[in-house]
Amino acid sequence: MNFQKNLQLKSFAEYKKAYQESIKDPETFWDSVADTFYWHKKWDKTLEWDFSTPEVKWFQGGKLNITENCLDRHLDTLGNKTAIIWEPNDPDEESRHITYRQLFVKVSHFANVLKNNGIKKGDRVCLYMPMIPELAIAMLACARIGAVHSIVFAGFSSTAIASRINDSNCKMLITANEVYRGTKKVNLKTICDEALQNTPSIETVIVYRRTVEPTPMTAGRDVFWFDELQKATKECPAEVMDAEDMLFILYTSGSTGKPKGMVHTTGGYMVGTTFTFQNVFQMDPDDIYWCTADIGWITGHSYIIYGPLAAGATTVMFEGVPSYPDYGRFWEICDKLNVTHFYTAPTAIRALAKQPLELVHQHNLTSLKVLGSVGEPINEEAWHWYNDNIGKSNCPIVDTWWQTETGGIMISPIAGITPTRPTFATLPLPGVQPILMDEKGNELELKAEKAEGRLAIKFPWPSMARTIYGNHERYKDVYFSAYPNKYFTGDGAYRDATGNYRITGRVDDVVIVSGHNLGTAPIENAINEHEAIVESAVVGFPHDIKGNALYAYVTLYNGISPNDTLTKEIKELVSKSIGAIAKPDKIQFVSGLPKTRSGKIMRRILRKIASKDVSNLGDTSTLLNPEIINKIISNSL
């Protein structure tokens, strides 16, 4: 059985036909996709949905385990094929090649460690791990026994870990003692220990030793990964899950308040991520696929682990950073591993495009066939640099638009099959029904003319998030109340006369910095903790490399004057509560913030000032304090 090619559409005509069928009769379409997987019991009902509640259920009555689809079913035909190639931070350390059979054994073995430590189906397990194969093993081991993984990106602060653990009452935390990142070594265990002071639900901490350094361990709570393996047996039958059982929680920033724990379920997520992986990337059996994202983001979940493994592909995991030992590292790895499919983010492309081209030309990139982009709109300049210098004008670029909430790719070219166009994510994949809404909430019909509006989706797709953990009301509010019976993406988009989409960016208060979604509200909350600070407003402004950077407007208590120490302390506060990625590039001290009469800060105006676009600030007459604007402009940075 060839798991990689059995779902692939092979021509533009085939795509168009499949798309039409998927719209006319979505259930029959998704039935035929789902039929290609291994189920213990086939589903009774393909889809039940109601966007007003909102409730979405796919493949109800179906019984399966996603790890049997990622591992067991490949053993006969692909057992000796490499599943994961791990490339360490240090180019002199050896890569690891793990076959499907080896991965199957490791996952089963570690699944028994979880069981031995009291983890059962439905329990939540927090993973705070570096990019090492053990992260993949731990997440799959959770899925094997029906435990719910909640992966927290290993660049987040202890406060961020604690709030995520507490939100979903995780019973266990899995981490590593240290992590290498370029020339730096970060002690993850120490950060965890700080978080663990405020996480009463955690009973056990499993620590993987990535380095030989001594590790502080708390007796009765902390155990070593390796010691636990010695006590565990190696065979672990997969827990049989309902299609709608929870597979994982992944937190994403919201525009207000605390991060949202997006809940993904088993059957639909598997079907959706695998189908999109196979189609968008069009891998051949011997191809080598590398997605540079961290597994702590949805891109890593769906397109380093679940999608590629369910498809029987070889997937690369890279521990390091693009700049170490020099800015040629990505290209050196492509050359060394003969990478055929390379998937990265515009922010990385922009950073690498700033480096001497010599760093590209030193490496042989002839193995490359397909390039991918994800995370934010890719600008024209970056697109051409990527196309000319990396793809040598010979590799289609798949600009894949999707979200943590969508689980899988929604709008994207299909490599070599559907046309690409610079800066356009192009056409919806089969089963995806995007629409554009105007300011008044009316749908902009697909006519033979261009349109611009807010992007919504009008029909469910299998890999969509089902709820926000512990807060279904918020799920409804954020995604299903802007437009009745439609999923609202939070993005703006442009559509040309032939139906190609270009995503223009967020329309709410989330800023994407270097591809990381950052809610401005939690950053403001962190800044406001400072005793000298009254309030603050954080907005994004365009940045050459990061895509967007953060600009903080801060008001101080009377009698306190701005100084460098304050600036430093603000950055530290943000770094501590959210992470270094959220530190503002610019901090301006102001005597007041522009506000509406109901007291809401007018971030729209602050965004324009931060972007040095002050010619038309729009209607400021509704402001409580319009006189403040000129003061802010004249002191802007």
Rounded CA separation 260/297 (Å): 13
Query: For the window 265-304, what string marks contact with ligand 7RM as x by the rule CB under 6 A?
Result: --------------------------------xxx-----
Restricting to residues 327-346, name those near ligand 7RM by CB under 6 A.
none
Phi, psi values for residue 205, rounded to 5°: -120, 125
Task: Using the structure block, give the residue that is written with the tokens 């993973």.
Answer: 127
For the bound state, the minimum distance from the C-beta of residue 17 to ligand 7RM, rounded and expressed in Å, comes to 25
The verdict on 400 binding ligand 7RM (CB under 6 A) reads: yes
Under the criterion CB under 6 A, does residue 402 sit at the interface with ligand 7RM? yes
Which position among 119, 154, 374, 527 is part of the footprint of ligand 7RM (CB under 6 A)?
A: 374
Q: Which two tokens stand for residue 312?
A: 């029987």
Task: At 351, list the tokens.
Answer: 């950073």
Closest approach, Cβ 373 to ligand 7RM, in A, equals 6
Give min distance, CB of 214 to ligand 7RM, in A.
36
505-524 binders of ligand 7RM (CB under 6 A)? 505-506, 512, 517
The position carrying tokens 């007459």 is 621
Q: Give me the residues paired with residue 184 across strands.
A: 181
Choice between 173 and 550, CB closer to ligand 7RM: 550
| Positive/negative CA dihedral, 128, 134, 140, 146 | negative
Work out how close the CB of 252 gets to ligand 7RM at its nearest, in angstroms, rounded to a whole number: 5
Q: Which is nearer to ligand 7RM, 252 or 387 (CB)?
A: 252
Residue where the block lists tokens 């994004």: 540
Cβ atoms of 410 and 457 within 8 Å: the answer is: yes
* Only segment of 24-32, 324-332, 395-403, 528-536 that touches ligand 7RM (CB under 6 A): 395-403
Q: Which of 22, 404, 520, 577 binds ligand 7RM (CB under 6 A)?
A: 404
Angle (nearest 5°) at CA 566 between 612 and 538: 40
* Residue 429 CA to its chain's centroid (Å): 19
Separation of alpha carbons 328 and 335, rounded Å: 11
Q: Which is nearer to ligand 7RM, 179 or 374 (CB)?
A: 374
Q: Which helix (H) or strand (E) holds 248?
A: strand 246-252
Q: Is 249 in the site for ligand 7RM (CB under 6 A)?
A: no
**Strand, helix or coil for residue 490:** strand
Q: Which stretch binds ligand 7RM (CB under 6 A): 32-40, 188-196, 393-401, 626-634?
A: 393-401
Minimum CB separation of residue 167 from ligand 7RM in Å reads 17
Residue 454, interface with ligand 7RM (CB under 6 A)?
Answer: no
Q: Which residues contact 530 (CB under 8 A, 6 or more apart)?
A: 566, 569, 570, 573
Stretch that binds ligand 7RM, among 135-143, 144-152, 369-377, 541-549 (CB under 6 A): 369-377
Antiparallel, parallel or unpaired: β 124-128 and 96-99? unpaired
341: Cα within 13 Å, side-chain hemisphere:
27
Where do the H-state alpha helices sit in 185-328?
188-196, 225-230, 266-281, 298-300, 307-310
State yes or no: residue 145 binds ligand 7RM (CB under 6 A): no
How far, in Å, CA of 305 to CA of 285, rounded? 17
* Candidate residues 98, 283, 425, 582; the one interacting with ligand 7RM per rule CB under 6 A: 425
| 503 lies in the site for ligand 7RM, by CB under 6 A | yes
Q: Which two tokens stand for residue 157?
A: 């602060």
Q: Is 370 in the site for ligand 7RM (CB under 6 A)?
A: no
Q: 104 or 385: whose CB is closer to ligand 7RM?
A: 385
* Rounded to 5°, angle at Cα 485 from 479 and 486: 50
Most distant CA atoms of the chain, gap in Å: 75
Which of 236/465 has CB closer to ligand 7RM? 465
> b vs e for 449-462, b when ≥16 Cβ sit within 10 Å of the residue's Cβ?
eebebbbbbebbbb
Q: What is the distance, to the nearest Å, from the Cα of residue 191 to the centroid of all Cα atoms in its chain?
A: 22
**By CB under 6 A, residue 253 contacts ligand 7RM:** no
Asked whether position 579 contacts ligand 7RM by CB under 6 A, the answer is: no
For residue 532, give every residue at least 6 positions away whose Cβ sits within 8 Å of its Cβ, in sequence order, or none.
556, 557, 560, 566
Shortest separation between residue 261's beta carbon and ligand 7RM, angstroms: 13
Phi, psi at 270, each rounded to 5°: -60, -50
Q: Can residue 399 be called a binding residue for ligand 7RM (CB under 6 A)?
A: yes
Both tokens assigned to 160: 């961020």
H or E segment to which residue 122 belongs? none
Q: Nearer to ligand 7RM by C-beta: 72 or 491?
A: 491
Q: How far is the CB of 404 from ligand 7RM (least distance, A)?
A: 3
Sequence-ordered alpha helix ranges (H) in 362-431:
380-385
Q: Which of 328, 515 has the CB closer to ligand 7RM?
A: 515
192 binds ligand 7RM (CB under 6 A): no
Interaction between residue 152 and ligand 7RM (CB under 6 A): no
- Binding mask 470-499 toward ligand 7RM (x if CB under 6 A, else -) reads -------------------xxx--------
Closest CA relative to residue 123, chosen from 110, 103, 105, 141: 141
Nearer to ligand 7RM, 130 or 296 (CB): 296
CB closer to ligand 7RM out of 268 and 547 = 547
Q: Which is nearer to ligand 7RM, 141 or 249 (CB)?
A: 249
Tell me how far, at minimum, the Cβ of 510 lies from ligand 7RM, in Å: 8
Binding residues for ligand 7RM, per CB under 6 A? 252, 297-299, 373-377, 399-404, 425, 489-491, 503, 505-506, 512, 517
